[in-house]
Amino acid sequence: MAAYITPVVNSTAVFKDGLFDGKVLFCTGGGSGICKAMTEAVMRHGAHAAIVGRKLDRLTTAAQELSTATGKLCLAVQADIRRPAEIQAAVAKTIEKFGRIDLVICGAAGNFLAPISKLSENGFRTVIEIDTIGTYNTIKATLPYVRASKGSYIHVSATLHYRGTPYQVHVSAAKAAVDATSAVLAVEEGPHGVRSNVIAPGPIAGTEGMDRLGVREGNGAPSSLLSTMPAGREGDVKDIANAAVFLFSDAASFITGQVIVVDGGNEHLLKFGLPYPQAVLDPDSVTKMIRPRL
Protein backbone atom coordinates (compact mmCIF):
# COMPACT_ATOMS: atom_id res chain seq x y z
CA MET A 1 0.00 0.00 0.00
CA ALA A 2 1.50 3.33 -1.07
CA ALA A 3 1.93 6.03 1.56
CA TYR A 4 0.09 9.30 1.15
CA ILE A 5 2.33 12.14 -0.07
CA THR A 6 1.49 15.65 1.10
CA PRO A 7 1.18 18.15 -1.77
CA VAL A 8 3.40 21.17 -2.41
CA VAL A 9 1.33 24.31 -3.01
CA ASN A 10 2.04 27.93 -3.89
CA SER A 11 1.13 30.53 -1.28
CA THR A 12 -1.01 32.29 -3.89
CA ALA A 13 -3.34 29.29 -3.92
CA VAL A 14 -4.13 29.90 -0.25
CA PHE A 15 -3.52 33.55 0.65
CA LYS A 16 -4.97 36.63 -1.06
CA ASP A 17 -2.88 38.52 -3.61
CA GLY A 18 -2.63 41.91 -1.87
CA LEU A 19 -1.85 40.59 1.58
CA PHE A 20 1.28 42.73 1.95
CA ASP A 21 0.42 45.69 -0.29
CA GLY A 22 2.38 48.77 0.74
CA LYS A 23 4.80 46.82 2.92
CA VAL A 24 8.56 46.36 2.61
CA LEU A 25 10.55 43.23 3.41
CA PHE A 26 14.21 43.29 4.49
CA CYS A 27 15.84 39.86 4.09
CA THR A 28 19.38 38.76 4.86
CA GLY A 29 20.51 35.75 2.86
CA GLY A 30 17.83 36.46 0.25
CA GLY A 31 20.03 35.80 -2.75
CA SER A 32 19.42 32.06 -2.86
CA GLY A 33 17.67 29.01 -1.48
CA ILE A 34 15.11 29.18 1.29
CA CYS A 35 15.39 32.92 1.88
CA LYS A 36 15.01 33.74 -1.80
CA ALA A 37 11.85 31.61 -1.91
CA MET A 38 10.50 33.33 1.19
CA THR A 39 11.20 36.73 -0.36
CA GLU A 40 9.50 35.76 -3.61
CA ALA A 41 6.38 34.58 -1.80
CA VAL A 42 6.09 37.77 0.24
CA MET A 43 6.62 39.85 -2.91
CA ARG A 44 3.94 37.88 -4.78
CA HIS A 45 1.54 39.10 -2.13
CA GLY A 46 2.34 42.76 -2.69
CA ALA A 47 5.51 43.71 -0.83
CA HIS A 48 8.63 45.35 -2.18
CA ALA A 49 11.89 43.88 -0.85
CA ALA A 50 15.56 44.43 -0.14
CA ILE A 51 17.82 41.37 -0.14
CA VAL A 52 21.16 41.51 1.63
CA GLY A 53 24.32 39.43 1.32
CA ARG A 54 28.04 39.48 0.68
CA LYS A 55 28.04 38.47 -3.01
CA LEU A 56 26.73 41.38 -5.04
CA ASP A 57 26.65 39.51 -8.35
CA ARG A 58 24.41 36.78 -6.87
CA LEU A 59 22.21 39.38 -5.20
CA THR A 60 21.83 41.45 -8.35
CA THR A 61 20.82 38.42 -10.40
CA ALA A 62 18.40 37.27 -7.71
CA ALA A 63 16.86 40.73 -7.36
CA GLN A 64 16.23 40.91 -11.10
CA GLU A 65 14.67 37.45 -11.08
CA LEU A 66 12.45 38.30 -8.12
CA SER A 67 11.26 41.56 -9.65
CA THR A 68 10.49 39.87 -12.96
CA ALA A 69 8.62 37.02 -11.29
CA THR A 70 6.50 39.19 -9.01
CA GLY A 71 6.16 42.61 -10.65
CA LYS A 72 7.39 44.24 -7.43
CA LEU A 73 10.65 46.08 -6.73
CA CYS A 74 13.61 44.20 -5.25
CA LEU A 75 16.73 46.05 -4.12
CA ALA A 76 20.08 44.20 -3.96
CA VAL A 77 22.28 45.48 -1.13
CA GLN A 78 25.77 44.15 -0.46
CA ALA A 79 26.68 43.84 3.22
CA ASP A 80 28.40 41.51 5.66
CA ILE A 81 25.95 41.08 8.52
CA ARG A 82 28.81 40.38 10.89
CA ARG A 83 29.75 44.06 10.58
CA PRO A 84 27.27 46.43 12.25
CA ALA A 85 28.23 49.42 10.08
CA GLU A 86 27.54 47.45 6.88
CA ILE A 87 24.12 46.20 7.94
CA GLN A 88 23.24 49.70 9.16
CA ALA A 89 24.20 51.04 5.73
CA ALA A 90 22.05 48.37 4.07
CA VAL A 91 19.09 49.44 6.17
CA ALA A 92 19.73 53.09 5.28
CA LYS A 93 19.70 52.24 1.56
CA THR A 94 16.43 50.37 2.01
CA ILE A 95 14.84 53.32 3.79
CA GLU A 96 16.15 55.69 1.13
CA LYS A 97 14.57 53.51 -1.58
CA PHE A 98 11.29 52.51 0.04
CA GLY A 99 10.83 54.77 3.08
CA ARG A 100 9.97 51.97 5.51
CA ILE A 101 10.65 48.43 6.71
CA ASP A 102 7.74 46.30 7.90
CA LEU A 103 8.94 42.71 7.68
CA VAL A 104 12.37 41.28 8.42
CA ILE A 105 13.79 37.84 7.67
CA CYS A 106 17.05 37.08 9.46
CA GLY A 107 18.18 34.26 7.22
CA ALA A 108 21.90 34.54 6.52
CA ALA A 109 23.69 31.45 7.82
CA GLY A 110 26.80 29.32 7.54
CA ASN A 111 27.39 25.65 8.24
CA PHE A 112 29.50 22.59 7.44
CA LEU A 113 30.08 19.14 8.94
CA ALA A 114 32.87 18.77 11.47
CA PRO A 115 33.35 16.96 14.80
CA ILE A 116 34.49 19.03 17.78
CA SER A 117 37.89 17.33 17.67
CA LYS A 118 38.53 18.67 14.16
CA LEU A 119 36.58 21.95 14.32
CA SER A 120 38.85 24.96 14.56
CA GLU A 121 38.18 27.80 16.95
CA ASN A 122 37.89 30.08 13.93
CA GLY A 123 35.33 27.79 12.29
CA PHE A 124 33.19 27.78 15.44
CA ARG A 125 33.50 31.54 15.83
CA THR A 126 32.63 32.22 12.19
CA VAL A 127 29.31 30.36 12.36
CA ILE A 128 28.43 32.12 15.63
CA GLU A 129 29.29 35.46 14.04
CA ILE A 130 27.16 34.85 10.95
CA ASP A 131 24.14 33.17 12.52
CA THR A 132 23.91 34.66 16.00
CA ILE A 133 25.73 37.98 15.91
CA GLY A 134 24.49 38.62 12.38
CA THR A 135 20.92 38.14 13.58
CA TYR A 136 21.51 40.52 16.48
CA ASN A 137 23.07 43.13 14.19
CA THR A 138 20.10 42.88 11.82
CA ILE A 139 17.62 43.30 14.66
CA LYS A 140 19.46 46.33 16.04
CA ALA A 141 19.65 48.04 12.66
CA THR A 142 16.03 47.44 11.65
CA LEU A 143 14.20 47.69 14.97
CA PRO A 144 13.38 51.44 14.93
CA TYR A 145 11.63 51.03 11.58
CA VAL A 146 9.87 47.78 12.47
CA ARG A 147 8.62 49.43 15.67
CA ALA A 148 7.28 52.34 13.65
CA SER A 149 5.37 50.03 11.30
CA LYS A 150 4.26 47.58 14.01
CA GLY A 151 5.98 44.92 11.96
CA SER A 152 7.30 41.41 12.38
CA TYR A 153 10.49 39.33 12.40
CA ILE A 154 11.13 35.81 11.19
CA HIS A 155 14.42 34.16 12.07
CA VAL A 156 15.55 31.07 10.16
CA SER A 157 16.84 28.46 12.59
CA ALA A 158 17.22 24.65 12.55
CA THR A 159 16.23 21.57 14.54
CA LEU A 160 19.78 20.34 15.16
CA HIS A 161 20.05 21.65 18.72
CA TYR A 162 16.90 19.89 19.93
CA ARG A 163 19.17 16.94 20.63
CA GLY A 164 22.91 16.35 20.50
CA THR A 165 23.66 16.24 16.77
CA PRO A 166 27.22 15.06 16.03
CA TYR A 167 29.35 17.22 13.73
CA GLN A 168 27.05 20.19 14.34
CA VAL A 169 28.21 21.82 17.58
CA HIS A 170 28.88 25.19 15.93
CA VAL A 171 25.49 25.62 14.28
CA SER A 172 23.66 24.00 17.20
CA ALA A 173 25.09 26.63 19.54
CA ALA A 174 24.39 29.41 17.03
CA LYS A 175 20.79 28.46 16.33
CA ALA A 176 19.95 27.84 19.99
CA ALA A 177 21.05 31.43 20.57
CA VAL A 178 18.91 32.63 17.66
CA ASP A 179 15.84 30.91 19.14
CA ALA A 180 16.50 32.53 22.52
CA THR A 181 17.07 35.94 20.96
CA SER A 182 13.76 35.76 19.12
CA ALA A 183 11.92 34.88 22.31
CA VAL A 184 13.39 37.85 24.17
CA LEU A 185 12.66 40.12 21.21
CA ALA A 186 9.02 38.98 21.24
CA VAL A 187 8.67 39.75 24.95
CA GLU A 188 10.47 43.09 24.90
CA GLU A 189 8.98 44.40 21.68
CA GLY A 190 5.47 42.98 21.92
CA PRO A 191 4.23 46.04 23.83
CA HIS A 192 5.57 48.14 20.94
CA GLY A 193 3.48 46.15 18.45
CA VAL A 194 6.33 43.99 17.11
CA ARG A 195 6.15 40.21 16.71
CA SER A 196 9.09 37.80 16.45
CA ASN A 197 9.00 34.13 15.50
CA VAL A 198 11.36 31.42 14.31
CA ILE A 199 10.99 29.01 11.41
CA ALA A 200 13.08 25.87 11.86
CA PRO A 201 13.29 24.08 8.50
CA GLY A 202 13.96 20.41 8.14
CA PRO A 203 15.82 18.98 5.11
CA ILE A 204 14.84 21.04 2.07
CA ALA A 205 15.68 19.51 -1.30
CA GLY A 206 17.72 21.44 -3.84
CA THR A 207 19.20 23.95 -1.42
CA GLU A 208 22.84 24.79 -0.88
CA GLY A 209 22.48 23.67 2.73
CA MET A 210 21.36 20.19 1.74
CA ASP A 211 24.09 19.99 -0.87
CA ARG A 212 26.74 20.84 1.70
CA LEU A 213 25.38 18.88 4.65
CA GLY A 214 23.74 15.86 3.08
CA VAL A 215 25.59 12.63 3.77
CA ARG A 216 26.91 10.84 0.67
CA GLU A 217 26.69 7.19 -0.30
CA GLY A 218 29.79 5.30 -1.38
CA ASN A 219 29.19 6.32 -5.01
CA GLY A 220 29.00 9.98 -4.06
CA ALA A 221 25.23 10.25 -4.44
CA PRO A 222 23.23 11.95 -1.65
CA SER A 223 21.61 9.60 0.86
CA SER A 224 17.82 9.41 0.70
CA LEU A 225 15.87 10.93 3.59
CA LEU A 226 12.45 9.66 2.57
CA SER A 227 12.52 6.91 5.19
CA THR A 228 12.41 9.59 7.92
CA MET A 229 9.76 11.77 6.28
CA PRO A 230 6.26 11.08 7.64
CA ALA A 231 4.94 13.58 5.08
CA GLY A 232 6.12 11.20 2.34
CA ARG A 233 8.40 13.58 0.47
CA GLU A 234 11.41 15.84 0.84
CA GLY A 235 10.86 19.43 1.85
CA ASP A 236 10.45 22.14 -0.78
CA VAL A 237 11.44 25.78 -0.45
CA LYS A 238 7.76 26.63 -0.96
CA ASP A 239 6.98 24.89 2.32
CA ILE A 240 9.13 27.40 4.18
CA ALA A 241 7.84 30.29 2.07
CA ASN A 242 4.23 29.40 2.89
CA ALA A 243 5.01 29.35 6.60
CA ALA A 244 6.61 32.78 6.29
CA VAL A 245 3.58 34.24 4.52
CA PHE A 246 1.33 32.94 7.28
CA LEU A 247 3.54 34.20 10.13
CA PHE A 248 3.84 37.65 8.57
CA SER A 249 0.10 37.86 7.96
CA ASP A 250 -2.53 39.20 10.32
CA ALA A 251 -3.82 35.63 10.67
CA ALA A 252 -0.81 35.07 12.95
CA SER A 253 -1.30 38.28 14.96
CA PHE A 254 -1.53 36.29 18.22
CA ILE A 255 1.55 34.18 17.46
CA THR A 256 4.84 35.54 18.76
CA GLY A 257 7.89 34.16 20.54
CA GLN A 258 7.34 30.76 18.91
CA VAL A 259 9.48 28.30 17.00
CA ILE A 260 7.60 26.77 14.07
CA VAL A 261 9.20 23.54 12.83
CA VAL A 262 8.59 22.91 9.12
CA ASP A 263 10.07 19.48 8.42
CA GLY A 264 7.32 17.07 7.39
CA GLY A 265 7.57 15.33 10.76
CA ASN A 266 11.23 14.43 10.14
CA GLU A 267 12.34 15.46 13.63
CA HIS A 268 10.37 12.65 15.23
CA LEU A 269 12.23 10.00 13.22
CA LEU A 270 15.55 11.78 12.85
CA LYS A 271 18.67 9.64 12.64
CA PHE A 272 22.28 10.75 12.38
CA GLY A 273 23.25 10.21 8.75
CA LEU A 274 26.83 9.08 9.40
CA PRO A 275 27.58 5.71 11.04
CA TYR A 276 27.60 6.10 14.82
CA PRO A 277 29.78 5.76 16.88
CA GLN A 278 32.28 5.16 14.07
CA ALA A 279 31.99 8.77 12.90
CA VAL A 280 33.09 10.16 16.26
CA LEU A 281 35.63 7.46 17.10
CA ASP A 282 37.36 7.65 13.71
CA PRO A 283 36.34 10.83 11.81
CA ASP A 284 38.84 10.13 9.03
CA SER A 285 36.94 6.98 8.08
CA VAL A 286 33.84 8.92 6.97
CA THR A 287 35.42 11.84 5.13
CA LYS A 288 34.28 10.49 1.75
CA MET A 289 30.69 10.72 2.95
CA ILE A 290 30.95 14.47 3.56
CA ARG A 291 31.15 17.20 0.96
CA PRO A 292 34.49 19.04 1.30
CA ARG A 293 34.17 22.34 3.12
CA LEU A 294 33.96 25.33 0.77
Residues with active-site annotation = 157, 175
Cα separation, 26 vs 18, whole angstroms: 18
How far is residue 236 from each of residues 62, 111, 201, measured CA to CA in Å? 18, 20, 10
Residue 47: which residues within 8 A CB-CB, separation 6 or more?
20, 21, 23, 24, 25, 72, 102, 103
Name the strands in the sheet holding 195-201, side by side, starting at the edge strand that comes first in the sequence: 74-78, 48-53, 24-28, 103-106, 152-156, 195-201, 259-262
